[in-house]
Structure 1
Amino acid sequence: MELPPLPLDRTRPLAVQLADGLRAAAVGGALRAGDRLPSTRELATILAVSRTVTAAAYDQLLAEGWVEGRVGAGTFVRGIPPHVTGPGPGGGGGGGVSAPSDSGVRIDLRPGVPCTEVLDRAAWRRAWRAAADAEPDLLPSYAGLPEYCAVVAEHLLRHRGLVTSDVLATGGSTGGLAEVARLLAGHGRERGAERAGRVAVEHPGYQRAISAFAAAGLETVPVPVDEHGLRVDLVPDGVTAVYCTPAHQFPLGARLPADRRIALVERARAEGFLVLEDDYDGELRYDVAPLPLLAALGPDVVVHLGTVSKILTPTLGAGWLVAPPAVRTALLTERERTGTRPGAAGQRVLTAFAGAGDLARHLRRLRRELGERRALVVAALAPVLGDRAGAHVLVPLESAARAREVQSRAAEQGIGLDVLERHGSGEGGIVVGYAGPTRAELESALPGVAELCGR
């Protein structure tokens, strides 16, 4: 298998960094349960370090339960140990609370899972066949296939109101974020800073993003969110970047209002930090048109990240990034230096799917279906928090302990739920995703969840 980038800083213990990097890759999903790791000798050659370094890193991960050795076969990723906080299908871990086991889950109401029930299977097969007709590439495309970047630019114009021709392909929004994090950390070390840099993050917020920053050696500073999203006035001075989900805050579901968007962009310009805009499901609104992207308000200070994982499927591993020219150039330079590039297969499939008009048709069906599903969820579980957008709502409960009890009892009934506590909050609440199950499964599960929540 191809390992994710594992940058090593020679001024710090290499074995510790390597173990941290592999651990973060497992948490972030770049490494999955069952993946075979290179031998200690192979990895030492790849990273240009001694075998003592790689052996020590593997020994640490073996002791912690992240990997396992199989006699005669090698070292394999076990996944996230049960005692370790880790990401669910889309929300990530947090607050020291582990995700429940998938065993026994019949109906998954956790966030982050796309709705594939409305996917036109015939159109999907046509796109894959069209992608397979392409000739093999002779040279790597570090920016992404030109035709893919053009399709994404058209998508951003039609569905997000962003005019751009400078799209970079990524392996997904979190993969793109990890690239930006490594770039920020590298610049901090080049300046001889005591720390690689500080990134302000939403609290509660997306824990995979926090893991990506930590893996790059960046310090994260939590900033409170309220019913209107990120508290821009509470972003501290001296940060390198601010990470946010303005279209649909994860996990509370708020939409950052126009005055806060303007204030954030103005502060970024005045104080010299970047804004990292994760638009993970911004295409999904059911009431009014989305507010303008931060990237449209501040193209000189905003890095925009998007993905098809929530609107189509994570199978493609396809995302995109739009950044200020200096950041874009630096990212391309680093990709060429390290040989890192997004996979072309998923790009070809999405290009074919969109080129035939099937992506636009799929989005229309998806918005209609998820809007109706959200109405069902709200009717069953009200009061809930979250805009009429995306594919999850928050069901507030009186305490975190009560939320864990609901989650546990739902699991006994074969229903997978997520708790707000897992995303860094001490408040009580259940995060309910309604995209993953079929409509029939959702309707059958809601009465039981409502009863458990006291609705």
Structure 2
Amino acid sequence: MTGSWATFGADLHLDLAAGRGLRAALTEALREAARSGRLAPGTRLPSSRSFAADLGIARNTVAEAYAELVAEGWLTARQGSGTRVAERARPRRAAAAARTRHPARRGPAYSLLPGSPDLGAFPRMAWAAAARRALTDAPNEAFGYATDARGRVELREALAGYLARARGVYADPDRIVLCAGFAHALMLLGRVLRERRVREVAVEGYGLDVHRDLLTGAGLTTRPLWLDGDGARTTDLAGFGPRTGAVLLTPAHQFPTGAALTPGRRAAAVDWARTGGGLILEDDYDGEFRYDRQPVGALQGLDPDRVVYLGTASKSLSPALRMGWMVVPPDLLDEVLAAKGRTDWTSSALEQLTLARFIGSGAYDRHVRGMRLRYRRRRDELVAALAGKVPVSGIAAGLHAVLDLPAGAERSLVQAAAWQDLALEGLARYRHPDSDLPVRDALVVGYGTPSDSAWAPALAALLAALP
């Protein structure tokens, strides 16, 4: 009997060697399955009666095979627990790999890298409650293939209300396009800009290289804008010429310098876009977390026809959700949808429905308010601990601060932090390679990243690294 199928709660293929007695063939097949790891340690085997029925053989044959393997130590049999694969039955390949594998390199014990929220603060219970309600209320068609590239209408409607109320965004649900985070949105917009024969996008002199790479990957070049305490110097856009068809900005809280774009420079950006037909791509980076100032609304509110608003749940909830959104000007919508494709393949419809429920129930607002208080306490503790040591800037909002250093000190302090088992980044990491900004030595400290238990030792490691 070769190639028989038996059911162990899940299908398992056993090769019962031809030319041997049934008991011997079954014993060897089970032994090899345990030895190779196909039957994992702790796996419960079926009763001898049901297994015999599955294989079409006598029950005694199965019972004798079990007994022999118990005697050899491959199986265990206890009253009330049934017959299981013994815990000491380890796969040969796994054991060999354990002998030859090089020890894994351990990362730093603590991290103050920017760009991440406190992952331990994800609102698991509230999210689970929203998921249960969303699953109960979901229409049957939500479990089928998605046909609207914009994403679930329930989430688009919830976002339209929230963004209008909390960020001052003009957001018609029909103009919201859901995507798998900011990078996905920027990739789509890069395609659209290239199709529109745009050749150059202005970007801030300091920013994420991955965002610049996405634009260059779409066939565009990036041109750096000057940065200072008032944010990007958008008045320079008028002199950039017709090649520059768009500008990427973080107006609410510039990453990584932390400056907020002033009203005059916001107006200059919008005037440039209106005059030359350009587009503003607004990355509303951690705009919900402000501490020492009145809320700064989205730039999109000044001209919804010239600004593409981009937001995500990555900083407010978790980057693991892979949930982002664009509010698209009317004349750009068809092109964005064409770039995305005819179906919404980027995120689970059930997660979209869960986030819609989470926002609609007020749980999202409560979570953001709670995290705002938590991050503000950390920021205050950081500023107090560094008083008299180094100047700290960019702290009116967001999840990171900038620590200005003496000239030439940045690299050595990043290395000193590594010796303290602390992951830390310098400002030079974010500088545009073509920028003519003066060199500024600084550390970018992400105080939102550590868990509550890791925050104090991470701060202590930072202080130990400083001279």
TM-score by length of 2: 0.70
Deviation track 1:81-103 (CA, whole Å, cap 9, x = no partner) reads: xxxxxxxxxxxxxxxxxxxx983
| Equivalent residue, structure 2, for 1:148 | 155
| Equivalent residue, structure 2, for 1:125 | 128
| Equivalent residue, structure 1, for 2:35 | none
* The 10-residue stretch of structure 1 (135-144 or 384-393) with the greater mean CA deviation from structure 2: 135-144
- 1:293 is displaced (CA, Å) by 1.4
| Equivalent residue, structure 2, for 1:298 | 303
| Equivalent residue, structure 1, for 2:22 | none
Deviation track 1:37-86 (CA, whole Å, cap 9, x = no partner) reads: xxxxxxxxxxxxxxxxxxxxxxxxxxxxxxxxxxxxxxxxxxxxxxxxxx
| Equivalent residue, structure 1, for 2:182 | 173
Deviation track 1:17-45 (CA, whole Å, cap 9, x = no partner) reads: xxxxxxxxxxxxxxxxxxxxxxxxxxxxx
Which of the numbers 445, 449, 459 marks the counterpart of 1:446? 459
What is the DSSP-based 3-state SS (H/G/I as helix, E as strand, rest coil) of the residue aligned with 1:280? coil
Structure 1 CA distance, aligned partners of 2:106 and 2:187?
A: 30
- 1:120 is displaced (CA, Å) by 3.1
- 2:366 maps to 1:358: no
- 2:332 maps to 1:324: no
- 1:319 is displaced (CA, Å) by 0.9
Amino acid at match of 1:420: L
- 1:423 is displaced (CA, Å) by 0.4
* Pairing 1:151-162 to 2, within 5 Å after superposition: 151-162=158-169
| Equivalent residue, structure 2, for 1:433 | 446
What is the DSSP-based 3-state SS (H/G/I as helix, E as strand, rest coil) of the residue aligned with 2:131? helix
Structure 1 CA distance, aligned partners of 2:451 and 2:207?
A: 27
| Equivalent residue, structure 2, for 1:216 | 218
What is the DSSP-based 3-state SS (H/G/I as helix, E as strand, rest coil) of the residue aligned with 2:320? helix
| Equivalent residue, structure 1, for 2:279 | 274
Which of the numbers 106, 109, 118 marks the counterpart of 1:106? 109
| Equivalent residue, structure 1, for 2:74 | none
Which of the numbers 237, 241, 250 marks the counterpart of 2:241? 237
Deviation track 1:134-159 (CA, whole Å, cap 9, x = no partner) reads: 44124332011000001111221221
- 1:226 is displaced (CA, Å) by 0.6
What is the DSSP-based 3-state SS (H/G/I as helix, E as strand, rest coil) of the residue aligned with 1:221? strand
Q: 1:147 to 1:313 in 2, by over 3 A?
A: same
Which of the numbers 369, 390, 394 marks the counterpart of 2:402? 394
Amino acid at match of 2:422: I
Amino acid at match of 2:116: V
Q: 1:424 to 1:123 in 2, by over 3 A?
A: same
Structure 1 CA distance, aligned partners of 2:357 and 2:256?
A: 33
- 1:429 is displaced (CA, Å) by 1.0
Deviation track 1:98-137 (CA, whole Å, cap 9, x = no partner) reads: xxx9833121100011123443321122233344444412
Could you tell me which runs of 5 or more consecutive residues in structure 1 were left unpaired when the two chains were aligned.
Answer: 1-100, 189-195
- 1:184 is displaced (CA, Å) by 0.4
Q: 1:439 to 1:130 in 2, by over 3 A?
A: same
* The 10-residue stretch of structure 1 (229-238 or 429-438) with the greater mean CA deviation from structure 2: 229-238
Q: 1:215 to 1:130 in 2, by over 3 A?
A: farther
RMSD of equivalent CA atoms: 2.0
- 1:340 is displaced (CA, Å) by 5.8
Q: 1:362 to 1:337 in 2, by over 3 A?
A: closer
- 1:297 is displaced (CA, Å) by 0.2
- 1:237 is displaced (CA, Å) by 2.3
Deviation track 1:200-249 (CA, whole Å, cap 9, x = no partner) reads: 00011122210110110101011111111101122322211011101000
| Equivalent residue, structure 2, for 1:204 | 206
TM-score by length of 1: 0.72
- 1:379 is displaced (CA, Å) by 1.5
* Contact 2:413–2:466 (CA under 8 A) maintained in structure 1: yes
* Pairing 1:73-112 to 2, within 5 Å after superposition: 103-112=106-115
* Contact 1:316–1:345 (CA under 8 A) maintained in structure 2: no
* Identical-pair percentage: 37
Deviation track 1:305-348 (CA, whole Å, cap 9, x = no partner) reads: 00010011011111110121011121113333687655434312
| Equivalent residue, structure 1, for 2:27 | none
* Pairing 1:51-62 to 2, within 5 Å after superposition: none
Amino acid at match of 1:379: A
- 1:167 is displaced (CA, Å) by 1.6
Structure 1 CA distance, aligned partners of 2:451 and 2:346?
A: 35
* Contact 2:146–2:344 (CA under 8 A) maintained in structure 1: no
Q: 1:393 to 1:369 in 2, by over 3 A?
A: same
* Contact 2:307–2:328 (CA under 8 A) maintained in structure 1: yes
The number of aligned residues is 346
Structure 1 CA distance, aligned partners of 2:359 and 2:301?
A: 23
Q: 1:259 to 1:102 in 2, by over 3 A?
A: farther
Amino acid at match of 1:268: A
* Contact 1:140–1:341 (CA under 8 A) maintained in structure 2: no
| Equivalent residue, structure 2, for 1:336 | 341
Q: Please identify the structure whose Cα radius of gyration is greater.
A: 2
| Equivalent residue, structure 2, for 1:307 | 312
Deviation track 1:369-391 (CA, whole Å, cap 9, x = no partner) reads: 11111111111234111041000
| Equivalent residue, structure 2, for 1:379 | 384
| Equivalent residue, structure 1, for 2:192 | 183
Q: 1:124 to 1:341 in 2, by over 3 A?
A: closer
